[in-house]
Structure 1
Amino acid sequence: MTDALLLGGIEAGGTKFLCAIADRDGSTLMQTRIPTTTPAQTLGAASAFFSEAARQHGPLSAFSIGSFGPLSLNTVASDYGCITSTPKAGWQNVDLLAHFRRTISAPMALDTDVNCAAVGERLFGSGQGLDTFCYVTVGTGIGVGLLINGAPHGGANHPEVGHIKLPRAPGDDRFAGICPYHGDCLEGLACGPAMQARWGVPAETLPSDHPAWAIEADYLAGLCATLTYTVRPDRIIIGGGVMQPQMYGRVRRALSEKLAGYDASMRSIDMDDYVAAPTAGSSAGLTGALALAYRTATRQWPMHWAITETPSSRAETVNA
């Protein structure tokens, strides 16, 4: 590892791509925000950004992407590196790694956006000091990142916990759900677009005493109970646009009811600490992607980094 270590990272989301390069200390040298439109336009703009970054700062030492999915993360699969059966129009079967390998000659890594956000939370947010925790995002979809023994969990492929089936919440027997694959899976019932489809307005515009929030809390508590019983994490961090501040108390109370006093170790859970809000800031996913690039280059996590919410004052924004 040298002082010239140069890292590239992308947080690839359904509405925007955040691209950046950083030095070995995690200080951002350049960054840009690119609207997610067509693959050709979006990936082309991202490639142009990294080409300009290389011209100004030199070649990358490692490069990582934290992307929306589903993704193929099994390195022996024929479609490794691809976005697969995403509901985002036009992005099915897009090969992310192949695209960037044509212009970037550096070791590469790919993981889910939620796993990268979980890495960011472990470094700088609500996951600090924890080796095993879950990061949940509730927004356009529902995704769950798992850090186990300090590293993102993969297995045969990444988890798709947002598509589990849960018992219907009281008072929610008639809504069909919006998932194009499963209808009334968790995401089909409880993501932001599902709430809008059920109630006719965006979730964030609903008053805090609206019955929507009790239904939403029941589904998210069901998710937390499932994660508790299967993963037994030290903490469950829940973020995303649907998680209004008043939701945390609702989810904690509903989770306590669902666990029903089972097992002494679960009875001792401090719900205020166990179900937590993210605190690493809106750049957690990009920070996690850059950290994954660091790990790809050095085989260790950058525990010495001191990034908080925003990029370093040395950052230069380029509109690709």
Structure 2
Amino acid sequence: MMIMLYGSIEAGGTKFVCAVGDENFNVIDQTQFPTTTPDETLARVIKYFKKFDHIDAFGIASFGPIDVDKDSETYGWIIKTPKKGWSNIDFLGKMKENFDVPMYWTTDVNGSAYGEYISAKKNDESIKSVAYITIGTGIGMGAVINGEFLGVEGTPEFGHIKVKRHRDDLDFKGICPWHGDCLEGVASGPTFEARNGVKGIDTPIVDPTWDIIAYYVAQAVIDLTVTFRPNKVILGGGVCTPDFIAKVRAQFTLLFNNYLNVGSLEKYITAPEIAHNGSATFGDFVLAQKAIDEQKND
């Protein structure tokens, strides 16, 4: 009997990670390559998956903003995006031209959130909801509640919430081209270099910039906590080292002042459980199976 094969596409603004998994969601093959032009990049995606005898379904988690409204004329598109050359690209349509199989289409951070949700639920059946904040070149958030994503007409643009400014950071205008000092504008990875001329990776953890950014991220965690009370909040992306997450927990404690009981902060505000940046790949495999199930029920 032929085994099921699931395709995962983690489409990032910097690189694409493509993988094939078996019916137990184990990776059996994987590749990655830089994100260049849409034509060149999508051609590489298609060529990679064509190597396999069959792919039964895809989970596609893309940078955005993307259109996830199935009733929209631009469903499956990357729409207005700051990534040069990638606005108004019919990503899903291109895939469907080449593969006549079910496909689940969502954001890159939703793919990671789903993977972490399934992983957390395996370890603790009481888990019903998780939020995943990714902090890197930009900031995004995905949330899963009882197996479904937060957001109906569109996916959350959580990176653009407003935050209270740190008293030692008032002169920094922020880098968001739309909002200046929204969360992404003051707490994403490129803000290190914008402030100090030094990249975050080269900034010692004792530098006060880390405390400023932790102050902003802690506010974001508080916003999630008081709006839909997730069982846990996961911090991923290049900025989120263990030392930084510890700083976020400390700021959360100071700012939230025990207003609600969230239990142990070491269990509530965590790094991803899935190793080797595999959250989105695992999540995509599970979403590919979900796409098959949804097609059967249509």
- 1-structure distance, mates of 2:168, 2:123: 38
For residues 42 and 223 of structure 1, do their structure 2 counterparts lie closer, same or farther at Cα, with a shift above 3 Å needed? same
Residue 254 of structure 1 and its aligned partner are, at CA, apart by 1.1
Within a 5 Å distance, the mapping from 1:148-297 to structure 2 comes to 148-262=145-259, 266-267=260-261, 269-281=263-275, 282-297=277-292
Structure 2 equivalent of residue 313 of structure 1: none
Structure 1 equivalent of residue 113 of structure 2: 118
* 1:172-203 deviation digits (Å, cap 9, x = unpaired): 10111111111111001110012221121111
- 2-structure distance, mates of 1:196, 1:127: 40
- 2-structure distance, mates of 1:27, 1:134: 24
Residue 94 of structure 1 and its aligned partner are, at CA, apart by 1.0
* 1:68-117 deviation digits (Å, cap 9, x = unpaired): 11111011112111111211111111111011111111111101111111
Structure 1 equivalent of residue 21 of structure 2: 22
The 10-residue stretch of structure 1 (121-130 or 225-234) with the greater mean CA deviation from structure 2: 121-130
Q: Does 1:66 align with 2:65?
A: no
For residue 94 of structure 1, what is the amino acid of its counterpart?
I
For residue 111 of structure 2, what is the amino acid of its counterpart?
C
Structure 2 equivalent of residue 107 of structure 1: 102
Q: Give 3-state SS (helix, strand or coil) of 1:246's partner.
A: helix
The TM-score with structure 1 as length reference comes to: 0.86
Structure 1 equivalent of residue 142 of structure 2: 145
> Is residue 3–residue 24 contact of structure 1 (8 Å, CA) maintained in 2?
no
Gaps (5+ residues) in structure 1? 301-320
For residues 138 and 226 of structure 1, do their structure 2 counterparts lie closer, same or farther at Cα, with a shift above 3 Å needed? same
Q: Give 3-state SS (helix, strand or coil) of 2:89's partner.
A: coil
Residue 152 of structure 1 and its aligned partner are, at CA, apart by 2.5
Residue 146 of structure 1 and its aligned partner are, at CA, apart by 0.1
* 1:200-221 deviation digits (Å, cap 9, x = unpaired): 1111211121110110111000
For residue 144 of structure 1, what is the amino acid of its counterpart?
M
Structure 2 equivalent of residue 312 of structure 1: none
The 10-residue stretch of structure 1 (94-103 or 18-27) with the greater mean CA deviation from structure 2: 18-27
For residue 180 of structure 1, what is the amino acid of its counterpart?
P
- 2-structure distance, mates of 1:271, 1:238: 13
For residue 77 of structure 1, what is the amino acid of its counterpart?
S
For residues 94 and 82 of structure 1, do their structure 2 counterparts lie closer, same or farther at Cα, with a shift above 3 Å needed? same
* 1:22-42 deviation digits (Å, cap 9, x = unpaired): 221223333221211111110
* 1:153-186 deviation digits (Å, cap 9, x = unpaired): 2311111111101110121101111111111110
Runs of 4+ more than 4 Å apart: 125-128
> Is residue 272–residue 279 contact of structure 2 (8 Å, CA) maintained in 1?
no
For residues 108 and 86 of structure 1, do their structure 2 counterparts lie closer, same or farther at Cα, with a shift above 3 Å needed? same
* 1:110-157 deviation digits (Å, cap 9, x = unpaired): 011111111221233698432201111111111111011123223111
- 2-structure distance, mates of 1:101, 1:175: 45
Q: Give 3-state SS (helix, strand or coil) of 1:79's partner.
A: coil
Q: Which has the higher contact order (CA 8 A, sep 6+)?
A: 1
- 1-structure distance, mates of 2:162, 2:121: 28
Gaps (5+ residues) in structure 2? none
> Is residue 11–residue 61 contact of structure 2 (8 Å, CA) maintained in 1?
yes
For residues 267 and 52 of structure 1, do their structure 2 counterparts lie closer, same or farther at Cα, with a shift above 3 Å needed? closer
For residue 153 of structure 2, what is the amino acid of its counterpart?
A
Residue 298 of structure 1 and its aligned partner are, at CA, apart by 3.1
Q: Give RMSD over aligned pairs.
A: 1.8
Structure 2 equivalent of residue 76 of structure 1: 71
Number of equivalences: 292
